[in-house]
């Protein structure tokens, strides 16, 4: 019997995940790569982009939760939507699955020529482009190994360990005060979103 650990249990009040934004970011990376990519590599690119957006913009692109897994840090809920099979009798596809294929031979592909970008700001698109320019030519194993060198990643020994936004910010040189301010601002934004929904 395999124990499946749901990472949602690690944080008491996670940010409101934005599958639309994660999908559009993934779509941009896939388009830059010619339409198909190893999903391991895609996950690392998405993590690096969120990490950079936190520092530059004070907010992530995906609003996902981050965990250390054996293959490096990942966006928890994005990994779920990327790798889970759709329910056979679902009325409609998820936003992700409307644009990006299920994994085949460890790769995912764009399902259409055009993917929306209406949820991404120009600054976020520039971050995505820079991340791809820096890491996009690495193999899936090279980028995996690089992600193992990030100071916030800890070997989970076959499980998964949460990575906080504050950890990510502190390891990128932000002061305790600045990191706390960003985390508090994101918490306030999340609370307002919950009240509005």
Supply angle C-alpha 6, 77, 20, rounded to 5.
Answer: 155
CB 29 within 8 A of CB 128: yes
Mean pLDDT of 24-37: 97
Domains of the chain by residue range: 15-196
CA–CA dist 90, 74 (Å, integer): 27
> Are 22 and 75 within 8 A, CB to CB?
yes
pTM confidence score: 0.89
Q: Give dist(CA 120, CA 39) in Å, integer.
A: 21
pLDDT for 180-193, tens place per residue? 999 999 988 877 76
pLDDT (tens digit per residue) in 149-178: 999 999 999 999 999 999 999 999 999 999
Instruction: For residue 36, list its beta bridge partners.
Output: 109
β-strand partners of 108:
37
- Answer with the residue of higher pLDDT: 13 or 85: 85
Distance between CA atoms of residues 82 and 27, nearest Å: 12
Over residues 91-133, the pLDDT tens digits come to: 678 899 999 999 999 999 999 988 999 999 999 999 999 999 9
Strand 66-69 to 161-163 pairing: antiparallel
């Amino acid at each position: 019997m395999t124990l499946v650990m749901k990472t949602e249990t690690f944080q008491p009040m996670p940010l409101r995940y934005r599958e639309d934004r994660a999908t559009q970011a993934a779509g941009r990376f896939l388009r830059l790569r010619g339409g198909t990519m190893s999903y391991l590599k895609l996950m690392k690119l998405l993590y690096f982009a969120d990490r950079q957006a936190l520092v530059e913009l004070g907010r992530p692109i995906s609003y996902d939760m981050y965990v250390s897994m054996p293959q490096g840090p990942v966006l928890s809920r994005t990994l779920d939507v990327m790798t889970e099979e759709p329910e056979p009798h679902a009325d409609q596809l998820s936003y992700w699955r409307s644009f990006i294929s299920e994994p085949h031979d460890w790769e995912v592909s764009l399902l259409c020529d055009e993917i929306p970008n209406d949820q991404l700001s120009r600054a976020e698109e520039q971050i995505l482009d820079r991340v791809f320019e820096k890491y996009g030519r690495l193999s899936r194993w090279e980028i995996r190994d690089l992600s193992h060198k990030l100071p916030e990643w800890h070997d989970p020994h076959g499980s998964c360990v949460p990575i906080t936004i504050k950890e990510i910010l502190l390891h990128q040189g932000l002061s305790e005060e600045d990191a706390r301010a960003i985390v508090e601002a994101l918490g306030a934004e999340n609370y307002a979103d919950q009240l509005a929904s």
